Amino acid sequence: MNVTFCGHSQITKEDKIVSWLRTVTQNLIEQGATTFFLGGYGEFDSLAASILREQKKKYPQIELVLVLAYLNTGRNTSGYDSTVYPPLETVPHRFAISHRNRWMIEVSDVVVAYVLHDWGGAATTLRCAKQKKKQIISYRDEMGS
């Protein structure tokens, strides 16, 4: 089972999100999730990666994959098991992240979402996941935010 994350670049109530992410990721791993795709931008992505690194100590079989929107950026990829660059060669630079996000949705079975409002890149990505009828685990729905 492949899982991806979708969330705002800035977060609030970090302690609640940490607790929620720990529970969600553990449940997914216990249900058979093995591959976690991460975008690596913003506070939510960083928090998700941090929680998954903790989970990896208990569940060494899981794989953390950093999905690159750009090649040759010199990004620090330590802390991830691997990287992948989707087929974005012909995509204009300014659209690379949105196309990368759609690719992440396409290859995932489950989307873990921290989306609290209906505008911006995270909201657009979540709408894509809904259109593709992906299983969505939403902080907003579960926590009533």
What is the structure's pLDDT at 144? 63
What is the structure's pLDDT at 105? 97
Q: What is the mean pLDDT of residues 49-77?
A: 92
Which of 76, 17, 87 shows the shortest CA–CA distance to 41? Answer: 76
36/145: higher pLDDT: 36
- Sign, CA dihedral 78-79-81-85, equals negative
In total, how many domains does the chain have?
1
How is residue 60 annotated by DSSP? T
pLDDT of 74 strictly over 80? no
Domain coverage including residue 31: 2-94+103-143
Encoded tokens for 96 = 């690379």
CA 77, chain centre distance (Å):
15
In this structure, the strands spanning 63-67 and 35-38 are: parallel
pLDDT above 70: percentage of residues in the chain? 99
Task: Work out the mean pLDDT of the chain and round it to a whole number.
Answer: 93
Encoded tokens for 88 = 């974005």
Is 135 in contact with 110 (CB distance < 8 Å)? yes
pLDDT tens digits for range 100-116 = 999 999 999 999 999 99
Separation between Cα atoms, residue 55 and residue 63, nearest integer Å:
10
Please report, for the domain that includes residue 81, its CATH number. Answer: 3.40.50.450
What is the structure's pLDDT at 71? 86
Q: What is the mean pLDDT of residues 125-141?
A: 95
What is the structure's pLDDT at 20? 95
